[in-house]
Every structure is written in C-alpha cells, then in structure tokens.
Amino acid sequence: MRRTNLLRLAVGAIALVYGLGALAVARGPGEFTTYAGSSGLAATLAVFTGFALVVAGLVTSLTRPAGRIGDLALVAGFVWFAPFWVGWTGGPPLVRSLGMVFAGFLFPVLIHVVLAYPSGRLQSKLARLLVSSVYLEAVLSSLGRALFRDPYFDPKCWDNCTDNAFLVRSLPGVAHTIQVMDVWFVMAAAGALAAFCVWRLVAATGPARRVLWPMSVAGLVLGATTGAHSIALSRAAEDPLDPVFLSIFMIQCAAVVLLASGLLWTALRARVQRRSVGRIVAGLGEAPSPGSLQSALARAVGDPELRLAYWLPDSRRYVDPHGTPVREPVAAPGRAVTALVRDGRQVAVVTHAASVADLEREIGADVRLALDNERLQAEVLTQLIDLRASRARIVQTGDAERRRLERDLHDGAQQRLLALSYDLRLAAAAAQAEGEAETASLLADATGEAQAALGELRELAHGIYPAILTEAGVGSAIASLVDEAPLPVEVAETVEERYPAPVETAVYIVVAEAIEDAAARAATFVGLSLLRDGDRLVITVADDGSERTASMSHLADRVGALGGWLVVEPTTVRAEVPCA
C-alpha cells in the first residue's frame, strides 16, 4: 500500500510538469488551436480544471486507497490536457497524434467517475452498460480516426490539420462517417448521463442524496454541455474563438471543477466520519443501553436509517440490539450491507446508505469490541425473550386445557346429570301416581342428590374456567364474580372492551384470587379497580382484612409470563398486564 501511494505521488508530480507543459503549448504555438490559447481567462480556467482533477484524484486515492475513483480522477486529469498537445502547431507529429487518440477518452473517463461515485464501483447494470458502451465507442472511434483520417483532407479540421503518425490509409469518407457517428453517439450518451444523474437524486434517500448531489449536479451540467457541444459540432466546424464553443467550454470547465470539488468534499467527509466513528466508544459510557451503539454509529456516518443486526451462531439467526429476531439483512436499491468481523468471527451486519463507503475499514478495533459486547448483550436479551415466550406458551396451553375441561364437563357430565335428574323426577312422579309412597320418597331423595351433584359440578367447571369469560369478556366475568363473592365488593372502575384471551384470563384470576384471599383474612370489604392505561390493563384490589402473608408467587408467574408485573402488599394487590 505504501509503495502504491508513493507511485501515486510520483504520478502527481509528473502531472504537474505535464500540465505546465500543456499550458506553455497553449499560450505559445497553440494559441489559435486550443481553447486555453484563446484568452488568459480560458487558459487559467482550463489549467485549473486539469489540476483540480489531479489534486482531487490524489487526495481521494490517498484517503481511500481501497476505492478506484481517485485513480480514475487522476487519469481524467491527464486526459484533460491531451487536447492541449493536439494543438501544438509545429510540434512532434507523434506527440500530436497521441494527444488526438487520448483526447477521445476524456468524456468516457469523466462519465466513469460520475457514475462510480462515491464507492468507485459501478453499482447498477445500467451504469455498467453505459460506461462500457462509451468506452467501446471511444476505442473504435479513436482507432478509426488514427488509421483512416488524414487531417489534411478533413474540411472541419481546426486543432491539427497536418499530422497523423498512425495513418495507414487515407479514407476521408470513412473518417467523416466515424466523426458523424461519434458526434451523435456522444450526444445520446450525454443525455443518458444527465438522465441518470437526475434519477439517482430522485431515487436516493435523504442521507444518500446529501452525498450524491455535488457529483450528480456536476454530471448533469457535464452531460448538458457535452450534448450542447455535439449539437454545435453538427451545425458548424469547431472554433475556439467562436463565442458559442467558448461558452460551452467554460461551462464544461466549471462542471469538471464541481466534480473535482465533490471528490474532495467526499474525502474530507470520510476523514471526519472516520474520526466520528473512532470516538463512538468514548461517548457510550461504561454500561450503554441496547441500541445506543447503533444510534451512535448512525450519527457518526450521517445515516439515521442505519441498522445493526447481530449474528448468533448458536441459534443460527440474526437479532437486533434489543434481542428481537430479524431477517437476514440484504442489499436494496440505495442501501448496502457491510459485514463486520472480529478475530475471524462475524460480529454484526450493518445495513446503511450505499453512499457510505468503506464502512468496514473505518470501524476500528475498539468499536468492534463494543459491537461484540453488545452482541453478547443482545444474545442474553434474546434468551430472555425466548424464556418469556416459553412461559406465555405454557400459560396459554394451561388455559386452553382449562377451557377444554370446562367445555367437556358442561357438554358431557353436566348434561348427563341433568338428564338423570329429569328422569328421576319423572320416575318419582310415576311412583307417586301409582301410590308407591316409599319408592317416590326414595326417588325424590335421589333427585335432590343429583341436583346437588349438578350444582357442585357447575361450581367445579366454573372454577376451572368460567364460560362467561370466553363468551362476554373480562368485564362481565368480573361482574359475575363480584355478585357471587362471599363479601361485599365495590367496583370503582372496570372495562368493557375485549382483550386477548391470555390477558383476560390473567386479569380474572388475579381478581378472583385476591377476593378469595381477602375473605380468608377475615376482610369485610374489598375495593376493586380495573382500568386501561395506554397499552396496559391496571388491576388494583384492596381490602380491610388482616395483613397478607402469602406471596402469591403463582399469580406473579402468570402475569410475568405476559410481560407484566404484580405487587403484593399487606392488604393490596396491584398488577399491570400488557393488553396491546
């Protein structure tokens, strides 16, 4: 890496000499055959633009060595000066011919820089297709002109009308056709570039748009000026002294300077971002809460939609910082996925804006350690969530069995006892009619026993699971419970809405057992309140009995299985049960 950076610095020094030489040519023998030679302002702007590309390429390459966009900008800086050497009147034919060949690659390289921004990679198939086609056309056009274009026979010649060191055979018709096709192709490619830049800005998210806008605006202006240049060429021969061509050149220089500024701004932003990421751990504190690392990382990179997902190898799944299972993160339009590794193990996966480049490289060892710690915390939270879910399933299974038993008793044994009681009454009536008093008396006693057994069975079924709770809800079930209570119960507040069955069952059992416990402690009065507070049902049962000694841990387990809590005081029971 160090050798590569030294090579880049050497190339930058060569570019400085190369650009100054191009300026000397433009202000000397190329005064009438280059745009830079038309005026001092044009020369200053042209040279500044080329050097801006070189500097931006060097800074970007040294700041982000993993990306190729800096090297592309450096190449664009070299190619920018190629037309200067083409206009070197009286200069070496090989130099002018090489300049003519390389000048045709300026637009393809600039398109490549714009579309590869900010990562240095072409992210979409459309971008790859556009860049590949522009490079291919530039190769074919430059090769055709080099082999078949004799500048002396070109009626639209303006910068080099004498030299072509690569000429194999002079074919003016072929050269003219290549030139016309090149003009129209470049016009179409310029329109595609402008449209692509607009589409990227429109489709990008807020954080991505803040990163993309300098390069997208530069690409839009570059596409517009290149298209305007192609239209002007289709109507007249190019002339650097023509106000139309000169104005287009000036605007194009401004667009390329904006492009270079966008690269420099990105490099500066990446440096600031790296420092912000490096300071994350210091700002978290000793015991950060779940999700604080995700929030800090989102602020550091300027992406509020950034999400962390931790990989749990034991359970083979991803979870968020709070321990909640999530789907495996995947890339999406405008969003990228970066895997973070520590000691050869995948710790987390970050979903972030595609404009946030080199995130994996910018996260240092201390942040990775913090991520690993939060992953362990998330694993514990996941186990806690699984435990709560398991407790809830056990409670729900128990309640389902209670409902089944109540239904079986109601539909089976109760119905048989009821039928038996009816048959006994009929038999007693028949015996009485036939004058068998003793038999009638025995049948009457049996009928009473059957009725008593039926009543006890109904109470048993009601105790197992009250049918009214399923049919009418917890409000009606508690009203029925109050009516049958062994002591006065005053209901201050209650609810009429229906809630999930596990919630209604837990509330009913808490109230029932609190009233039963109050009666056992010789209470003479019970006050009951049931109300909804946000996403929770709050139950309060107070009495005037002796102090309670039982912990009611079974009620705490039931309520806790639903994510609620229970407070047991000497004469008060208070519970909160999630109901959303």
Residue 118 domain-assigned (yes or no): yes
Asked if residue 489 has pLDDT above 80, the reply is yes
Residue 30 domain-assigned (yes or no): yes
Residue 434 domain-assigned (yes or no): no
Asked if residue 11 has pLDDT above 70, the reply is yes
Do 247 and 345 have their domain in common? no
Residue 360 domain-assigned (yes or no): yes
Least Cα distance to 319 among 415, 268, 385 occurs for 385
Residue 418 domain-assigned (yes or no): no
The pLDDT, as a whole number, for residue 295 is 80
Q: Which of 46-50, 350-354, 430-434, 477-481 has the lowest mean pLDDT?
A: 430-434
* CATH code, domain carrying 501: 3.30.565.10
Q: What is the mean pLDDT of residues 15-37?
A: 86
- Residue 409 or 428, more confident: 428
Q: Which of 53-57, 95-99, 196-200, 560-564 has the lowest mean pLDDT?
A: 560-564
CB atoms within 10 A of CB 66: 12
The pLDDT, as a whole number, for residue 385 is 76
Q: Report the percentage of the chain scoring pLDDT > 70.
A: 86
Q: Report the percentage of the chain scoring pLDDT > 90.
A: 25
Do 73 and 172 have their domain in common? yes
Asked if residue 31 has pLDDT above 50, the reply is yes
Contact indicator for 111, 256 with CB cutoff of 8 Å: no
Q: Which of 218-227, 273-282, 547-556 has the lowest mean pLDDT?
A: 273-282
Do 229 and 153 have their domain in common? yes
Give the ranges where 279-364 is alpha helix by DSSP (H): 280-284, 292-301, 359-362
Cis peptide before 329 (omega within 30 of 0): no
Contact indicator for 280, 293 with CB cutoff of 8 Å: yes
Contact indicator for 322, 288 with CB cutoff of 8 Å: no
Our count of domains for the chain comes to 3
Of the candidates 388, 404, 439, which is a domain's last residue? 388
Rounded Cα–Cα distance for residues 249 and 7 (Å): 32
Would you give the DSSP letter of residue 548?
Answer: P
Do 118 and 234 have their domain in common? yes
The pLDDT, as a whole number, for residue 364 is 67
Do 251 and 305 have their domain in common? no
DSSP string of 155-175, one letter each residue: TT--S-SS--TT-SS--HHHH
- Mean pLDDT of all residues belonging to the chain: 83
List, for residues 388-400, the tens digit of each pLDDT value: 776 666 666 666 6
- The helix (run of H) or strand (run of E) holding residue 536 is strand 536-543
Rounded Cα–Cα distance for residues 117 and 59 (Å): 15
The pLDDT, as a whole number, for residue 495 is 86
List, for residues 418-473, the tens digit of each pLDDT value: 777 777 777 777 777 777 777 777 777 777 776 776 666 665 554 555 767 777 88
Written as six digits, the tokens of 190 are: 């310029």
DSSP reduced 3-state for 260: helix
* CATH code, domain carrying 185: 1.20.1070
List, for residues 286-331, the tens digit of each pLDDT value: 556 777 788 878 877 777 888 889 888 887 888 888 888 888 888 8
Read off the pLDDT band of 39 (50, 70, 90): confident
User: How far are the Cα atoms of 186, 234, 310, 379, 539 from residue 148, in angstroms, in the given order?
Assistant: 20, 21, 62, 70, 94
Do 319 and 209 have their domain in common? no
The pLDDT, as a whole number, for residue 146 is 92
Residue 203 domain-assigned (yes or no): yes
Q: Which of 76-85, 382-391, 502-511 has the lowest mean pLDDT?
A: 382-391
Would you give the DSSP letter of residue 153?
Answer: G
Q: What is the mean pLDDT of residues 5-11?
A: 82
Do 48 and 147 have their domain in common? yes
Do 248 and 339 have their domain in common? no
DSSP string of 447-491, one letter each residue: HHHHHHHHHHHHHHHHHH--HHHHHH-HHHHHHHHHHT-SS-EEE
Contact indicator for 68, 277 with CB cutoff of 8 Å: no
Strand 335-342: give its sheet, edge to edge. Answer: 325-326, 317-319, 307-312, 345-353, 335-342
Do 512 and 363 have their domain in common? no
Do 301 and 227 have their domain in common? no
Strand 489-493: give its sheet, edge to edge. Answer: 489-493, 526-533, 536-543, 572-578, 565-568
Asked if residue 1 has pLDDT above 60, the reply is no
Q: What is the mean pLDDT of residues 1-17?
A: 81
Rounded Cα–Cα distance for residues 561 and 463 (Å): 21
Q: What is the mean pLDDT of residues 62-84?
A: 83
Read off the pLDDT band of 242 (50, 70, 90): confident
Do 264 and 306 have their domain in common? no
Do 249 and 363 have their domain in common? no
List, for residues 113-145, the tens digit of each pLDDT value: 999 887 778 878 889 999 999 999 999 999 999
List, for residues 339-377, the tens digit of each pLDDT value: 888 877 888 888 887 767 667 666 767 677 777 788 888
Would you give the DSSP letter of residue 413?
Answer: I
> Any residues with CB less than 8 A from the CB of 213 and at least 6 apart, and which?
201
Of the candidates 355, 388, 421, which is a domain's last residue? 388
Residue 225 domain-assigned (yes or no): yes
Read off the pLDDT band of 66 (50, 70, 90): very low
Structural domain including 319 reads: 292-388
CA within 13 Å, CB half, 574: 4
Q: What is the mean pLDDT of residues 95-120?
A: 90
Of the candidates 358, 388, 418, which is a domain's last residue? 388
Q: What is the mean pLDDT of residues 161-167?
A: 89
